[in-house]
Amino acid sequence: MPRLQAKICGLSTPATLDAAIGGGASHVGFVFFPPSPRHLTLEKAAGLAGRVPAQVKRVGVFVEPDDPLLACAVESGRLDALQLHKVSPARAAAIKARFRLPLWVAVPVRTRSDLNEATSWRGLADRILYDAKTPEGGLPGGMGLRFDWKLLDGFTHPAPWALSGGLDADNVAEAAAVTGARLVDVSSGVERAPGVKDVDKIARFLQAVAAL
């Protein structure tokens, strides 16, 4: 296993998905959230899911999802894990009990005290995703914002974790060095416009990850 793994999130076309897989991404993210420019229809997700080889894991990204959406997305996207935003531990526990898939839980971070939320996920989340806290009323992720990575210094993580928020090919090496992350998650950092992934940026990001 490489020292650092990478998830390319918000993929929506065969070409960009193939670029992520060909470049060595360990995970690919499919967004099921209509307000997002990266939102996938179930039909589109089904078409993309069939292109993903077994060694690459498909992660569905959801914001306050209901069970019907989850059920349809799990089937269409052949999901291997569920990434949850703005969901309470009680709701997440119910989702895990019903769908029996690993849960990734996003913890938005701006200050050190924001990390305290992560402790409430001990024993429930299979992975914590530390992401930059976005402005009130905005999308919960994919905004190109980053937080102070040094906030993670000395923090006792309650589960395996990944780093997200404002990453790109030029700063991922620094991010990994500062935080000790073993998995990084990128979305807007490999786009040429919101929701429009760029195959060359994906390649550059994954080359930077592979060099670490």
Main-chain dihedrals φ then ψ at residue 208, nearest 5 degrees:
-65, -40
Give 37-59 as a 3 state SS string: CCECCHHHHHHHHCCCCCCCEEE
- Angle subtended at Cα 193 by Cα 189 and Cα 198, rounded to the nearest 5 degrees: 60
Q: Is 72 a catalytic residue?
A: no
Q: Which residues are registered as beta bridge partners of 60?
A: 30, 82
User: How far is C-alpha 75 from the chain's CA centre?
Assistant: 19
Active-site choice (9, 66, 67, 170): 9
Active-site choice (66, 131, 168, 185): 131
Distance CA 201, CA 53 (A): 22
Q: Is 9 a catalytic residue?
A: yes
Any idea which residues carry the catalytic annotation? 9, 131
